[in-house]
Amino acid sequence: MNFIDTLHSAELVLKAGSVPLLVGETGIGKTSLAKDIAKKNHWSLIGIDGNLLKEGEIGGLPTIETYRRTDASGNPVEEKTTIYAVHHKLPAIDAEIAKGNTVLLFIDEINRCEHAVQQELMNLILNREINGYVLPQNVHILAAMNPADSYDYEAVEMDAAQENRFVWLYMEADYLQWLDWASEAGIAPKVMEFISTFPDYLDKHNEDDINATPRSYERISDIYKLYEQHPVSKTVFFNVIRGNVGKLIAEEFVNFAASDTQPLIAYADVFTAAPLADSLTQRVASESHTRLYLAAKNILKQLDMAFQKEELPDEQAAITRFMEFLALYPVDLRIGIMKDMKANNAHVYAKALNNDHFIDAYFQAFRHIG
């Protein structure tokens, strides 16, 4: 499943009182998904990384304490008992609950830890208690792991009984949804253009080299922004990019960044000229579907912000102009973008519902494909 489908599936499983298990390659966005669920529901997110735990750490190391009691004859008696220390993440849960918050406990890498650690985590996940510590009611659990047959790390398999206690959700990279996310997350436009041109590179296994993942391009975006402000030699730039995605993709990206590739159609291209420029029609005709989709998403994002800030003197005229631009798009892509507006561009969509050009274009597009 792609990111959005996996997120909605995980939310449904959590509401049903079960434990979702996200299964996906490293860097694909499992942690980002946990953050999104917590943010959307106003929950406090507390994470435990199984790969970093040692045996006894989460369960707590035993200590011997002395206590006094009175025996049947009324005589004081000293006894000794075993007390387990509590891992620091567990009091953090209690602290959030004490504030009146609901907690999402995200337990990652449950199949990349020692077997003994895995058993301790399973006790916490499946039985909601460990060595006397009981998870409060307002704690939801989300688990994540890498595929057992993954190519770049060792995994500790679960037994059949443990596997049957989870709802397994398989997560895969989807470059269009990543581009949607990237436009909201402030990823450098050049990085988004690169992925729109080479979508297979978003999640790419490189034999005997570093693998490229969605997380890799977050780092590359930060590096590229610095590179634009403070240029370094091409060799230095290449080596840093190679350290994120491997030699082959690094060569492609460095050449792509240095090329005179025409930038995406931008907000100013659509809204600056009085009538739409004839050159814009030619540009739309020469662009790929992916680049057109990304251009429309970027323009809509800026238009949505302009509506929020009340910067436009004639908002309906702005909607009409955008629809004139969108009319240049292939009909299937046009429909997809208009549908996306409802979910991702609420301010634009609210204005568009009162715009005759938008309504006519929407039904005309469906008549065209019908």
Q: What is the CATH number of the domain that holds 7?
A: 3.40.50.300
Q: Is the dihedral of CA 267, 269, 270, 274 positive or negative?
A: positive
Query: Of 231, 258, 285, which closes a domain?
Result: 258
Confidence of residue 239 (pLDDT cuts 50, 70, 90): very high
Please indicate, yes or no, if residue 245 is contained in any of the structural domains: yes
Which three-class secondary structure state does DSSP give residue 299? helix
The answer on 196 and 319 residing in a single domain is no
Confidence of residue 17 (pLDDT cuts 50, 70, 90): very high
The answer on 137 and 20 residing in a single domain is yes
Position 83 scores a pLDDT of: 65
Residue 316, classified by CB atoms within 10 Å of its CB into exposed (0-12), middle (13-18) or buried (19+), is middle
Confidence of residue 286 (pLDDT cuts 50, 70, 90): confident
Please indicate, yes or no, if residue 60 is contained in any of the structural domains: no
Segment 134-158 mean pLDDT: 80
CA pair distance 82, 66, nearest whole angstrom = 9
Please indicate, yes or no, if residue 297 is contained in any of the structural domains: yes
Could you read off the pLDDT of 180-229 as tens digits, one per residue?
A: 788 878 899 889 888 888 888 998 888 888 889 998 999 999 999 999 99
Confidence of residue 365 (pLDDT cuts 50, 70, 90): confident
Half-sphere exposure for 262 (CA within 13 Å, toward CB): 14
The answer on 218 and 99 residing in a single domain is no
Confidence of residue 84 (pLDDT cuts 50, 70, 90): low
Position 160 scores a pLDDT of: 80
CA pair distance 5, 169, nearest whole angstrom = 10
Q: Is the dihedral of CA 311, 312, 315, 318 positive or negative?
A: negative
Angle between helices 175-185 and 189-197 (to 10 degrees): 170
The answer on 212 and 191 residing in a single domain is yes
Please indicate, yes or no, if residue 65 is contained in any of the structural domains: no
CA distance to 57, 85, 103, 241, 256, per residue, from 89 (Å): 11, 12, 12, 35, 44
Confidence of residue 75 (pLDDT cuts 50, 70, 90): confident
* 369 has pLDDT over 70: no
Please indicate, yes or no, if residue 73 is contained in any of the structural domains: no
Alpha carbon 253 to its chain's center? 23
* 290 has pLDDT over 80: no
Write down the residue that tokens 């208009």 correspond to. 338
The answer on 286 and 248 residing in a single domain is no
pTM, two decimals, is 0.65
The answer on 277 and 351 residing in a single domain is yes
Taking residue 147's Cβ as centre, other Cβ atoms within 10 Å add up to 15
Position 242 scores a pLDDT of: 95
Task: Count how many domains the chain has.
Answer: 3
Written as one letter, the residue type at 217 is Y
Position 23 scores a pLDDT of: 92
Position 298 scores a pLDDT of: 83
Please indicate, yes or no, if residue 83 is contained in any of the structural domains: no
The answer on 157 and 283 residing in a single domain is no
> Contact 69/77 with Cβ under 8 angstroms?
yes
Mean pLDDT is lowest, of 28-32, 70-74, 127-131, 315-319, for: 70-74
Position 85 scores a pLDDT of: 60
Q: DSSP readout, 190-203?
A: HHHHHHHH-GGGGG
Write down the residue that tokens 């020469």 correspond to. 286
The answer on 322 and 238 residing in a single domain is no
Task: Name which of 38, 15, 18 is nearest 102 in CA terms.
Answer: 38
Query: Of 143, 170, 197, which closes a domain?
Result: 170
> Bigger pLDDT: 1 or 58?
1
- Provide the 8-state DSSP code for 51: G
Give the residue numbers spanning the domain of 139: 3-55+91-170
Segment 282-306 mean pLDDT: 85
CA pair distance 314, 310, nearest whole angstrom = 10
Query: Of 258, 288, 303, which closes a domain?
Result: 258
Please indicate, yes or no, if residue 159 is contained in any of the structural domains: yes
> Contact 104/46 with Cβ under 8 angstroms?
yes
The answer on 166 and 22 residing in a single domain is yes
Could you read off the pLDDT of 100-122 as tens digits, one per residue?
A: 999 999 999 888 878 888 888 88
The answer on 48 and 132 residing in a single domain is yes
Position 119 scores a pLDDT of: 85
> Bigger pLDDT: 246 or 291?
246
Beta strands in 9-72 (DSSP E): 20-23, 44-49, 62-70
Written as one letter, the residue type at 325 is F
> Contact 79/66 with Cβ under 8 angstroms?
yes
Please indicate, yes or no, if residue 67 is contained in any of the structural domains: no
The answer on 280 and 253 residing in a single domain is no
Segment 323-327 mean pLDDT: 91
What's the token pair of residue 281? 């029609």
Confidence of residue 8 (pLDDT cuts 50, 70, 90): very high
Query: Chain-wide mean pLDDT for the chain?
Result: 86
Segment 257-276 mean pLDDT: 80
- Strand pairing partners for 167? 20
The answer on 329 and 306 residing in a single domain is yes
> Contact 103/37 with Cβ under 8 angstroms?
no
Position 230 scores a pLDDT of: 92
